[in-house]
Amino acid sequence: MTTETRLRDQICLLAKSMFDRGLTGGSTGNISARTDDGGLLVSPTGTSFGRLDPARLSRFDATGRLVEGDPPTKEMPLHTAFYDTRSTAGAVVHLHSCHSVALSLMPDVDADDFLPPLTPYGIMKLGRVKLLPFFLPGDPAMGAAVRGLAGKRSAVMLANHGPVVAGKDIEAACNAIEELEDTARLAMMTRGMSPRALTPDQVARVVDTFDVEWDA
């Protein structure tokens, strides 16, 4: 089995796992990963995470030209913005996960630090998450907004839409976006209950101990 064949299978396996657990439904969400030759494998437009076909993934070469597979997701500007601005990005995942979207609807969330510091794991896997404004689905302005962050964030939350996370590889990106949804779920579950979040000192210790990329 070639490296690319394994990557195709891994993309479809992880996507189905997220679909089966209700992290994105219907034909929502998109996923991509770097290939060894600098190209990309991308979920096609209009496809379901629960039924991706490894052989039909959109295949781009290192110049960004579609060379094989079905037409890609209309959210390609989001994906390429992360790859172009973050040299460490090996995969990008975008979901329509329920609790993170719900949290984005709340009027008092911090746009520069979307997730409250409830556990160390959201900090360790995501750093600070930027809440971006609402854009129409497929609007290239979403990619421009990510580029405007100049590579300083590995994760953003699209208001009223869903999270987008870049990771060093496909497994890291999927683990991180699941942590984002879990933290958002905790935030919604404890909303109005005055939960004990991590203190600024505890957050600083997590950042320092685990060498977290922490954009001030």
The string of pLDDT tens digits covering residues 32-64 is: 999 999 999 999 999 999 999 999 999 999 999
Separation of alpha carbons 46 and 26, rounded Å? 9
- 214 lies in some domain: no
Range of the domain at 98: 3-209
The total number of structural domains in the chain stands at 1
pTM: 0.96
Q: Catalytic one among 44, 121, 175, 185?
A: 121
CA-wise closest residue to 29 among 81, 90, 87, 101: 101
pLDDT in tens, 84-137: 999 999 999 999 999 999 999 999 999 999 999 999 999 999 999 999 999 999
Position 78 in a domain: yes
The CATH number of the domain holding residue 156 is 3.40.225.10
Element (H, E) at 68: strand 66-68
Confirm if 165 and 90 have CB atoms less than 8 A apart. Answer: no
179 within a domain of the structure (yes/no): yes
Three-class DSSP labels, 189-211: HCCCCCCCCCCHHHHHHHHHHCC
- 121 catalytically annotated: yes
